[in-house]
Amino acid sequence: MTDMQSQGDLSYVRQEILKAAPPPMRVHGVWPWMRTNLFGSFGDTILSIVGALIALWVIVPLLQWTLINATWSGDREACAANTAGACWAFVKANFGQFIYGRYPDPERWRVNLFLVLMAAGIIPLAIPSAPFKGWNLVYIYVVFPVVAGILLVGGVFGLQLVETQVWGGLFLTLVVSYVGMAMSLPLGILLALGRRSKMPAVHYVCLFFIELCRGVPLITVLFMAGVLLPLFLPTGVNFDKLLRALLGLSLFAAAYMAEVIRGGLQAIPKGQFEGAKSLGLGYWQMMRLIVLPQAITIVIPGIVNTFIGLFKDTSLVYIISIFELLYTVRNSFSDPTWASSTTPASGLVFAAAVFWIFCFGMSRYSKFTEDRLRVGYKR
């Protein structure tokens, strides 16, 4: 049998060697990339042309306006004469005001020191591998607020008193968002726990508060803080306008934060709660040691998104005449020494760029934590 097979008809076996196939088309380089990404088919080519037209239609005038035709130096006359480009001279001249508001010139080092201290608290907290997270939180919630308060308001240790009325600009935006963020997180956690509580009174009080805040625009909450709060308090009792704005903004943000945290709490499997209870932990121990660390880690991207929303919402506190960045910029449009047809656009583009850098930075950070969290599930 084996003999017959080995010596038998082998006509189905190819006798001569095939010619080498032509090399595959290049998959690397400019042209293959363009073929797959831009000119894959007839429709794709048309889309690319339309897209290129749109991009040119936007980019060319934008470059002309912001760079080529812009007025970089000079005074109002130079800007008024040149209507084809941005008036960066206006931004340059008012830059100090945009950053510090009407904070007195010789005292600006205090604001600078405040910004450095704030960065020193936030940056290590944002880096996952940085040590001493507990002490970092103590710094963020206790040390820094006290030091910053003394530093900015003054009136003690030989520091000149600076009323909050003259605060303004980017630095005030940062103060407002810092306080809003720092307050809304713990308040939001409490509200979220309350909303999931089995005690009906606690549940309904928290539910009512959360839905009330989430259902109305921030402007009405700020109106309440600005106009109604003095009515609600005993005659004669009144406190700083900035504090009122901070209170309104923090409570508003806390309601949104509560919903984000609740999402995290719902994602924790029931076994974690049962396991903690079976170990004999009480409610607060269970939440502090087992549930919240997991729940908050899951929703860090959501928390950062709420922070981005809060940062953008700070632009509304002007309603009760707190002169944050956007309002400071708007206010300078009416400055007769600079009023021209291009100043509003230039100022707004500058403000937009500042807001964008902060928000985009935060959204990148949120993306980074999201990817970091997903590592565990990837395998």
Partner 1 sequence: MAVTDAGRLNVSRDRWYNNPLVRSIFFQVLLVAAVLGSVAWLAHNTTTNLRDRGIASGFGFLNQRAGFDMVTFLNVTAESTYGYMLLAGLVDTIVVSILAIVIATILGLIVGVARLSSNWLIRTIATVYVEVLRNIPPLLVILFFYLAVLATLPDVKNAIQIGPDFSLSNRGLFMPAPVFGATFHFVVIAFVVSLIIAWAVRRWAYARRMATGQGFPSGWAGLAIVVAITGVIYLLSGDPLTFDVPVKTRFNIIGGWDLSPEFTALFVALGVYTASFIAEIVRSGIVAVSHGQTEAARALGLRSSHVLRLVVMPQALRVIIPPLTSEYLNITKNSSLAVAIGFADLVAVGNNVLNPTGQSIEVVAIWMAFYLGLSIIISVAMNWFNARIALTER
What single-letter DSSP state applies at residue 315?
G
Size of the site for partner 1 (CB under 8 A): 56
Q: To the nearest whole angstrom, how small is the minimum distance from the Cβ of residue 330 to partner 1?
A: 7
Under rule CB under 8 A, residue 146 binds partner 1: no
End-to-end CA distance of the chain: 52
Which range touches partner 1 (CB under 8 A), out of 1-9, 16-24, 178-186, 215-223?
215-223
Q: Which residues of 226-258 are buried (b: 16+ CB within 10 A; e: fewer)?
A: beebeeeeeeeeeeebbebbbbbbbbbbbbbbb
Q: In the stretch 49-68, what mask flags binding to partner 1 with x, by CB under 8 A?
A: --xx-xx-------------
Under rule CB under 8 A, residue 216 binds partner 1: yes
Rounded Cα distance between 345 and 62, Å, is: 12
Q: In the stretch 174-203, what mask flags binding to partner 1 with x, by CB under 8 A?
A: ------------------------xxxxx-
Q: List helix spans (H) across the chain.
A: 2-7, 30-37, 42-63, 76-81, 88-100, 108-126, 133-138, 144-153, 169-195, 200-215, 218-223, 229-232, 241-267, 270-278, 283-285, 292-298, 300-313, 325-333, 343-378
Which lies closer to partner 1 via its Cβ, residue 1 or residue 199?
199
Q: To the nearest whole angstrom, how small is the minimum distance from the Cβ of residue 214 to partner 1?
A: 7
Alpha-carbon distance values, 296 to 16, 188, 272 (Å):
69, 11, 14
Under rule CB under 8 A, residue 40 binds partner 1: yes
Which range touches partner 1 (CB under 8 A), out of 44-52, 113-121, 137-145, 286-294?
44-52
Comparing CA positions, the residue from 88, 95, 84 lying closest to residue 73 is 88
Under rule CB under 8 A, residue 352 binds partner 1: yes
Three-state secondary structure of 148-162: HHHHHHCCCCCCCCC
Given the structure tokens 């959204």, which residue do they identify?
Answer: 363
Among 117, 166, 348, 373, binds partner 1 (CB under 8 A): 348
Under rule CB under 8 A, residue 238 binds partner 1: no
Rounded Cα distance between 153 and 260, Å, is: 34
DSSP helix/strand/coil, 41: coil
Which lies closer to partner 1 via its Cβ, residue 238 or residue 297?
238
Q: To the nearest whole angstrom, how small is the minimum distance from the Cβ of residue 167 to partner 1?
A: 19
Which range touches partner 1 (CB under 8 A), out of 1-9, 36-44, 69-77, 286-294?
36-44
Under rule CB under 8 A, residue 234 binds partner 1: yes
DSSP helix/strand/coil, 84: coil
Contacts of 83 (CB under 8 A, 6+ apart): 341, 342
Which range touches partner 1 (CB under 8 A), out of 70-78, 148-156, 160-168, 233-241?
233-241
Q: To the nearest whole angstrom, how small is the minimum distance from the Cβ of residue 272 to partner 1?
A: 20
Which lies closer to partner 1 via its Cβ, residue 12 or residue 377?
377
Rounded Cα distance between 335 and 98, Å, is: 13
Among 137, 138, 228, 289, binds partner 1 (CB under 8 A): 228
Q: Residue 118 in contact with residue 126, Cβ under 8 Å?
A: no
- Please work out, in degrees rounded to the nearest 5, the angle formed at the alpha carbon of residue 51 by the alpha carbons of 49 and 57: 105
Report helix angle 169-195 to 241-267, nearest 10. 40
Which lies closer to partner 1 via its Cβ, residue 121 or residue 248?
248
Q: In the stretch 312-331, what mask flags binding to partner 1 with x, by CB under 8 A?
A: xx-xx--x------x---x-
What single-letter DSSP state applies at residue 40?
S
Q: To the nearest whole angstrom, how small is the minimum distance from the Cβ of residue 153 to partner 1?
A: 27
Under rule CB under 8 A, residue 272 binds partner 1: no
Among 122, 159, 190, 359, binds partner 1 (CB under 8 A): 359
Alpha-carbon distance values, 33 to 16, 25, 29, 50, 276 (Å):
38, 12, 6, 19, 55
Footprint on this chain of partner 1 (rule: CB under 8 A): 37-38, 40, 44, 47-48, 51-52, 54-55, 198-202, 205, 211-212, 214-220, 223-224, 227-228, 230-235, 308, 312-313, 315-316, 319, 326, 330, 333, 341, 344-345, 348-349, 351-352, 355-356, 359-360, 363
